Amino acid sequence: MTNTQDHLIGAQAAAVILNVDRSTLTRMVQSGRLAEAMKLEGRTGARLFRRSDVELLRDEMAKAS
């Protein structure tokens, strides 16, 4: 069985976990704070993130505040 921590999630789910809006999530990606696991094809292809990476960043943000 695959660990649910390693599942890929979309940008909306990542934003919810991090408690940020989509534009803040985009800035986090652009600054290198959060890496995309993959981007789907197409001009508006969805960004996918490893759930474990998102949860790690959430925990780091909680410690910092």
* Alpha carbon 46 to its chain's center: 12
Mean pLDDT on 16-22: 98
The CATH number of 4-64 is 1.10.1660
- Please tell me the predicted confidence (pLDDT) of residue 1: 43
Q: Six-digit token pair at 34?
A: 């959060």
Report the C-alpha gap between 41 and 18 in whole angstroms. 25
Average per-residue pLDDT in the chain? 92
pLDDT at 40 over 80: yes
> Residue written as tokens 């069985």?
1
Helices (H), 1-65: 11-18, 22-30, 51-64
Give the confidence band of 7 by pLDDT, cuts at 50, 70, 90.
very high
* Alpha carbon 63 to its chain's center: 18
